[in-house]
Structure formats: structure tokens, C-alpha cells
Structure 1
Amino acid sequence: MKLPKNYKVKQNELNSKVILVTGANKGFGLAISMDLAKAGATVIMLGRDLSSLEYAYDAVVDAGYKEPILYPLDLEGASPENYQELQDNIIEKFNRLDGLIHNAAILGTQMPIDQYDIKLWYSTLQINLSAPFMLTQFLIPALKKSDDARILFLSSSVGRKARAYWGAYSVSKFGLEGLAMTLSEELEKTKIKVNTINPGKMRTEMRRTAYPAEDASTLPKPEEKSSVIVYLLSKEAERINGEQLSID
């Protein structure tokens, strides 16, 4: 389905919404957090590095947007107890969660499967797939307390069509697509909508690593695409469920 390009974020359109964004400290995650806060949402910015989260916090506040909440958590090493604590904190403070955006991911390395480093394979799958599974599982109780909740998984073209040498990253994104579709079926009779979205090419650190010879100046900045995420959290998109979406 087609998504609105250059969606204009409306002031307070997500007022009173509580939305958690993983990997919110930089790149597309920060751009998403900025737009959500601009729309009036309380954004829980989750990332593994506190200092970069504090920089991101300053960027949101200095722009005059709603003050976010920082939540440092290393998704690679997080335990069920850590996720339970997060659930408890969200329910205690807000009594619900209205949105969960799975943005955090690592590239791993690009090489043939028969040469792939096993330790790196495990860490990539842990951050990109297992952590979103656990985070979602523990936050579904908080999402069910919302009158209109959304779960959004950031995907990739290599998670929908196989491409050689993309290894664990590609496999993890294929896994996210399956996880999202399964959840959308299981949660069909609830007020939780689940979708995946491929943001396409962007001027990010991960893109530079994957395509070092590419002219980054020809690519759109993350903030040129992030407003579409606000649309998918808005009332206008309340009927979208179980879809594989793309910004490009």
C-alpha cells in the first residue's frame, strides 16, 4: 500500500501517547523520536549508550518538543529480568504503552554464510531478532492497556528478497517479518496493530558501512523520512494491520 510522502506532522496529533523507540540515540531512531515528540507524544528513548542518549535528549528538548524519557538498555545482553523491570516501570508510570517501534539493529558483516563468524552471527541475531521478540513479549501487557496501540518493526529490502552476502542481517530481517505477521494474526482481536516497514535508502552510519563507495550526499537524510512513522502511529492509520510497508 502507498504511504503519504512528506507527511506533515501536526502539533499534538499524538498528544498523551506513550511510545517507546529502540535505537533512539542516533540516525533514524533519533529522527523518529524528534517527530514523535513534535507531535506531542511522550517518547521513551531506549539505547545502550547513555552519553549518546543524553545528546539525543538535548536535541529533542532544544528543538522545543515534548521532553522525552531516557532508558539505557543493552539489547545484546538484556535479560528477562531487565525486560520485566521495563514493563513494571512503564505500567507504574503511565499504566499503558501506545506504541513500540523496533528500530535498533546492527549490520554484522557482509560475507558468505560458509565463512560467517559464529559469534557475530549470534550477536546480530540477538540484537536484531531475539531482543525485539523478548521486548515485545514483555510489553504486550502494557500495549493491551492502550485504547489504540501500534507495534512497528523496521525491516529492509534484504529481509523481503534474499541477497547474497547479507548473512545474519538479512536472516534477522526475514525473521522480523515472520514475527510481525504472526503477531498481527494473534493480536487480531485486540486493539494492537502490527506492521513492518522498510524505510529504504538513507544517509545513515549503517548505510555508509554497507556501501562505502556510495555518494552519501545523493541519499535522503533520516529526518526526510521519519514523519511517515508519525502517520503510522496516528488515527489516520488505525486500520493498517499485518502489512509489509515501504517508504520508498
Structure 2
Amino acid sequence: MKIATKYNYKKDELKNKIILVTGANRGLGKAIALDLARAGATVILLGRDMASLETIYDEIMAENLPEPLIHGLDLEGATPDDYFALQQGIEQNFGRLDGLIHNAAILGSLMPVEQYDIKLWYQTMQININAPFMLTQFCIPLLVKSDDARVLFLSSGVGREGYAYWGAYGVSKFALEGFMQILAEELENTSVKVNSITPAVVRTKMRQTAFPAEDATKHPLPEEVSSSFVYLMSEKSKKLHKCALSL
């Protein structure tokens, strides 16, 4: 199902919503976090680089938007104890979670399976699928306390149709799509709606790494498509569940 890349949201459309965004320190994750805040949400900024998260925090506060919460976490090395601490922090500060956007991912390498570095394969899987699993597991008790919650997995076209050389990244996105469907079935009778989305081709560092020869200026900037994520976190999207969406 395809949705519009731009959404004209109201300033208070997500008022009182608590939404966690992984990989919020740059690129599309940063753009999503800023749009959510501009729509009135309190955003939990999760990422590894504290300095860049603090910069986004300052940007949000400079616009007199709801104060975000910063949580530094290295998804590659995070343990169940780290996720439990995050869960407890959200519980103590807010008592619930209204949205969880799994944006963080790494590309790994583009190469034949026969030549793929095993350590890099494990690293990519850890960040792209194991971390979303653990984070989701610890957030479910918070999400079900919301009257209208969302879990959104950022996927990729190479996670819906296999292409040579996409290796661990492609496999991890296929796994993420499967995880979305399983989780959606398990949460069918709750207030939590679960979907995946393949973003439009946007001008990010990952895209530049994957396609170094292409003219990046032909693609929109992350902030040109990020408003659609406000819609996906809003009441207007409550009928979407177990959907593989595309921008």
C-alpha cells in the first residue's frame, strides 16, 4: 500500500503522544523526530552519538516544542539490562509509550554471499533485526498501556524482493518484514497497530554509500518526506495494521 510522501499536519496533532525514534541523530531519523515534535509529540531520541542527539534536542527546544528525552544506546552492544533500563526510564517518566519507530540500521557491505565477512554479517544482523526485537519486547508492556499505539519498522525494497549482493542488509530487512507480521498477529486484540514502510529514495549517507555514482541531488532530502510519519503515528492511521507500506 502506497501513502503520500507529504502530510499537512496540525501543530497539536500528536499532542501528549510519547514516541520513541531509533537512529534519531541524523538523516531520516532526525527529520522524523523533528516533524513529530512539531506536531506536538514528546519524542524520545535514541541513538549512539550523544553530541548529535543533544544538537537535535537544542533544535526542538529552540522552537518551543515539547521537551524531548535523550537516551544514548549502542544497538550493537546493548544488552537486555540496557533495554530494561530504558523501559524503566520511560515507565517512570511517562507511564506508557504511544509510538515506536524502528529507523536505525546499517548497510553492511554490498558483495556476494560467498565473500561476505562473517563478523560484519553478525554486526548487521545485531543492529538491524536483533536490536529491534529486543527493544520491541521491552516496549510492549508500555505500548499496550496506550489507548492508540503504533509500532513502525522502516524496511526497504530489498527486503521485499531479493537482489544480488545486498547480503546481510537485505536479509535483515526480510526478517524485519516477517517480524512485523508476527507481531501484528500477536497484538491483534490490543490498541497497538503494527506496520512496516519502505521510505522513498532520499538523500542520506547510507544511500550515497550504496550508490556512490548516482546524482544524489535528484532525490529529495529526508525532511521533504518525513511529515508522512506524523500521519502514521496519528489517529488517522488507526485502520492500518499488518500493512507493508511504501512512500
User: What TM-score does the superposition give when structure 1 sets the normalisation length?
Assistant: 0.98
Structure 2 counterpart of 1:78, which letter? A
Contact persistence 2:98–2:150 (CA under 8 A): yes
By how many angstroms is 1:34 displaced? 0.4
Contact persistence 1:34–1:65 (CA under 8 A): no
Aligned to 1:19: 19
CA offsets, 1:212-247, max 9 Å, x none?
A: 011111100001111111001111101100000000
By how many angstroms is 1:58 displaced? 2.0
Aligned to 2:46: 46
By how many angstroms is 1:92 displaced? 1.1
Q: Is it true that 1:243 corresponds to 2:243 in the alignment?
A: yes
By how many angstroms is 1:196 displaced? 0.1
Aligned residues: 247
Q: Which runs of 5+ in 2 are unaligned?
A: none
By how many angstroms is 1:66 displaced? 2.3
Contact persistence 2:184–2:241 (CA under 8 A): yes
Aligned to 1:89: 89
CA offsets, 1:161-212, max 9 Å, x none?
A: 0000000000000000000000000100011000000002000000000000
- The change in CA–CA distance for 1:218 and 1:63 in structure 2 (over 3 A counts) is farther
Q: Is it true that 1:222 corresponds to 2:218 in the alignment?
A: no
CA offsets, 1:69-125, max 9 Å, x none?
A: 110000000000000111111111111000000000000000000100000000000
SS for the counterpart of 1:43 is strand
Structure 1 counterpart of 2:203, which letter? R
SS for the counterpart of 2:58 is helix
Q: CA RMSD in A?
A: 0.9
SS for the counterpart of 1:229 is helix
The range that moved more, 222-231 or 62-71, is 62-71
Structure 1 counterpart of 2:202, which letter? M
Structure 2 counterpart of 1:152, which letter? L
Identity of aligned residues (%): 60
2: CA distance, partners of 1:2 / 1:157: 13
Structure 2 counterpart of 1:109, which letter? S
Aligned to 1:117: 117
CA offsets, 1:19-46, max 9 Å, x none?
A: 0000000000000000000000000000
SS for the counterpart of 1:162 is coil
- Runs of 4+ displaced beyond 6 Å: none
Q: Is it true that 1:100 corresponds to 2:88 in the alignment?
A: no
1: CA distance, partners of 2:169 / 2:2: 26
Q: Bigger relative contact order, structure 1 or 2, given CA contacts below 8 A and separation 6+? A: 2
2: CA distance, partners of 1:123 / 1:197: 23
Q: Which runs of 5+ in 1 are unaligned?
A: none
Aligned to 1:174: 174
Q: What pairs up with 1:143-182 in 2 under 5 angstroms?
A: 143-182=143-182
